[in-house]
Structure 1
Amino acid sequence: MFTHDDRHQPIPRCGSTRLVFLEPDQETPLTCLHKNFHVDAAMARITEAPGDDTANAFNIDVRVNCADCGEPFRWIGLPCGYSPAQPMVSVNGLELRAPMAPQSAPDGFGQGGPGFRVDVLVPDPA
């Protein structure tokens, strides 16, 4: 379902260096005002080995849907992938993946783990 406020602008899709623009579906009317929301969050303790009690990092994955119509919301302005050092989004932009640390943790806590980044490239039409 189309949810962009300006029906004349293309919708930016996930991509960290270049954006892919898709034209909005002009036949789908905006029928829901999106006044109520449902948030799904999953918190992860990242340890060195299975069964280890000491967490080396924490991560939260968050999804948001309209509670009335069920339409998912996209996270805007973040690169795609996973990083222990910065928030990122899933390739479809529907899931925020953010590293976290307890307030008492030292600077740099949890930032030594692996990650990945997905760049969306648009072929040059020339």
Structure 2
Amino acid sequence: GLRVSELVEVKVGHLDLDRLMLHVPGFDKNKRTTFFSKHLKESLIKQAGAKNTSQYLFPSERGSTLTTRAVAKFFKKALIASGLKKLATPHSLRQSFVNLMLNQDTDPVALQNTLDLRALNSLPSPNSKKAA
């Protein structure tokens, strides 16, 4: 459920691997905490490697922050390599995550806080839920 602009700012020290949490600097420098799955934990450990806590988790080749445009290019290459015919963007994945959580009866207010959504009306209405 991260925005690309948040993803590129994540540093190794933002990870709490024991509690499966990520401390994310959000919009307007508001910090929030979100969660990740046990399945993602091993990949994050590999990605963090021997980096120190102040280093970016997903650095550019120069070790600085990736640009959001670079992430979009990586995403497009991965989408093509996957063979999926459906158009997708990082934002559409975020929206799909919101829909999945709402379909699993997640509390909308908790979801709003976890994803740093500005307003509850930015969530899909219950009538727009799709059958899984």
TM-score normalised by L of structure 1: 0.19
Larger CA Rg, structure 1 vs 2: 1
TM-score normalised by L of structure 2: 0.19
More helix by share: 2
More strand by share: 1
